[in-house]
Amino acid sequence: MMGHLILRVVIKLLFAPILLFGLYVQFHGDYGPGGGFQAGVIFASAFILFALGFGLKETQKHLPPTVLPFFMVFGLLLYALTGVLGLFMGGNFLDYYVLAPDSHHNAGQHIGIILVEFGVGVAVFSAMMTIFYFFAGREPEIHDADW
């Protein structure tokens, strides 16, 4: 327990900045390098780092695997429904101009891409965590009965 003390302290120190960096990459993605995919991976990497130091059980106490499908579906639907919203507001699928048609600064495009990228970020984060949980939680050996 004490052998991991330094690691655990460092992980606790790093945890919040990694999340913050993930959010920065997420919401700065429409101006600079970044975007939902990278942000989702960075965000997930904070939790994976936590799991490496504190164990799978402890991580799953804070982020239960049962909520991850909801995140995945939410992310994917946010993307798709933003596109569908464009349809219903009179544009083509994924047309963001119609979200704020009167703006001179193409605000519709910003709204659209932020919503879509946020959807991507959430979906990628939950997919990464699901993959990690499945690999980390795998039974170490396959029993004879399973073959």
Partner 1 sequence: MDFFAQLPALPVVVPFVAAPMALLMPPGRIPWLWAVLVSWVSFGLSLLLLEQVWVNGPVTYAMGGWAAPLGIIYYIDLANALVLSLVTGIAAVVFPYAYNSVRDEINHGQTPGFYTALLLCLAGLIGVTMTGDAFNVFVFLEVSSLATYTLVAMGAGRDRRALTAAFNYLVMGTIGATFFVIGIGLLYQATGTLNMLDLHERLAGQDNRLVKAAFAFIITGLGLKLAMLPLHLWLPPAYTYAPSAITAFLAATATKVAVYIMLRFLFTVFGFDFPFLKVALDFFLVLGIAGMFIASLAAVFQDDVKMLLAYSSVAQIGYMLLGISLGTVDGVAASLIHVVNHAFIKAALFMAVGIVVLRLGSHQLRAFQGLATRMPWTSWGIVVAGLSLVGVPATVGFVSKFALLSAVFAKGGTMEIIAGFLILASSLLAVIYMMRVIKVMLQPVPTDGPFAGPVAAPPLTMRLMLWIMVGVNIYFGLQAQPVIAIAQKAAATLLGVDSGEAF
**Exactly one of 50, 83, 115, 117 binds partner 1 (CB under 8 A); which one?**
83
- The radius of gyration of the chain from alpha carbons, rounded to an integer in Å, stands at 19
CB 28 within 8 A of CB 74: no
Least distance between partner 1 and beta carbon 70 (Å): 7
Q: Does 70 bind partner 1 (CB under 8 A)?
A: yes
Q: Does 77 bind partner 1 (CB under 8 A)?
A: yes
Q: What token pair was written down for 97?
A: 């101009």
Least distance between partner 1 and beta carbon 28 (Å): 22
- Cα separation of 117 and 119, whole Å? 5
Least distance between partner 1 and beta carbon 20 (Å): 28
- Cα separation of 31 and 106, whole Å? 13
Between 56 and 81, CB nearer to partner 1: 81
Alpha carbon distances (Å) from 81 to 31, 93, 125: 23, 10, 19
Q: What is the contact surface with partner 1 in residues (CB under 8 A)?
A: 69-70, 72-73, 76-77, 80-81, 83-84, 86-97, 147
